[in-house]
Amino acid sequence: MKLIILDHYSQASEWAAKYIRNRIIQFNPGPDKYFTLGLPTGSTPLGCYKKLIEYYSNGDLSFQYVKTFNMDEYVGLPRDHPESYHSFMWNNFFKHIDIHPENTHILDGNAVDLQAECDAFEEKIQAAGGIELFVGGIGPDGHIAFNEPGSSLVSRTRVKTLAMDTILANARFFDGDLAKVPTMALTVGVGTVMDAREVMILITGAHKAFALYKAIEEGVNHMWTVSAFQQHPRTVFVCDEDATLELKVKTVKYFKGLMLVHNKLVDPLYSIKEKETEKSQSSKKPYSD
């Protein structure tokens, strides 16, 4: 397990975006080899998405051969509702990059048979070869996706009733009116995310500090579902200084002492421009009379 500690939210967002960029480019995706990326919604990943859009706009990164699977979606909220996760992803990320719409996968919270929709989502992930990198965020109560406290740590994609803390936290997106906030959602399970070959979890802000403490310094506990990723062979937690307020000083010092090594994951920062240059040079015929 790696814990990446940066000074500010913007730096944590940029580190995460650089890591995603390097992972995609090093994977060398193509028509017969797609990179599969799990994605979250919410305010935490916005900074990361903005940097990824910037990399695409600068010609350093392409999502042409990337397939995405989102973590969750509200039940009963129209797809074109401004607070649906379909709208969120398209407005904040997908419409700004070169990803093909058919390669984006978001659960349908208006499906006639919700459990069948969840089962089909799991099948789509398997058909895509599994998730290469699943990026996630957490709530103040340590929930990953909508796997609320008490969720099974081997759970799969399913219908979930939202906890009151989650409803209260999301009310700000619905004019502060609790009556407008959906009370159910479709969500990938903890087990679904654990199946990914790698997991990166973004945790920023003092309000997430206790959850980070539970995830890093205490044991695995279904009341703090993010703690399950202590047992994943390749987990990267990316946080800002504020999120470390509940950690022991020696824990913070230990992981900060590893940053010289961990920063090698994003430095050098790769670009598809370099790949294209390599291809063009290798395709040139040697000089001959």
CA–CA dist 5, 94 (Å, integer): 28
Place of tokens 């919270």: 109
Write down the catalytic residue from 117, 122, 132, 148.
148
Cross-sheet strand order for the sheet of 72-74: 72-74, 184-187, 158-161
CA–CA dist 62, 184 (Å, integer): 35
CA–CA dist 211, 140 (Å, integer): 6
SS3 35: strand
CA–CA dist 155, 177 (Å, integer): 31
- The residues, ordered by sequence, that sit 6+ positions from 123 with a Cβ below 8 Å of its Cβ are none
Whole-number Cα distances in Å, 26 to 13, 19, 264, 270, 274:
20, 10, 14, 8, 11
H or E segment and range at residue 135: strand 133-137
Residues in the chain: 289
SS3 182: coil
Write down the catalytic residue from 14, 73, 122, 141.
141
Write down the catalytic residue from 72, 122, 132, 195.
72
What are the structure tokens assigned to 252, written together? 């913070």
Write down the catalytic residue from 143, 195, 232, 240.
143
Nearest CA among 198, 221, 224 for reference residue 209: 224
Question: Residue 72 catalytic?
Answer: yes
Question: Residue 232 catalytic?
Answer: no
Question: Residue 218 catalytic?
Answer: no
Question: Residue 148 catalytic?
Answer: yes
Strand partners, 66: 35
Catalytic residues: 72, 141, 143, 148
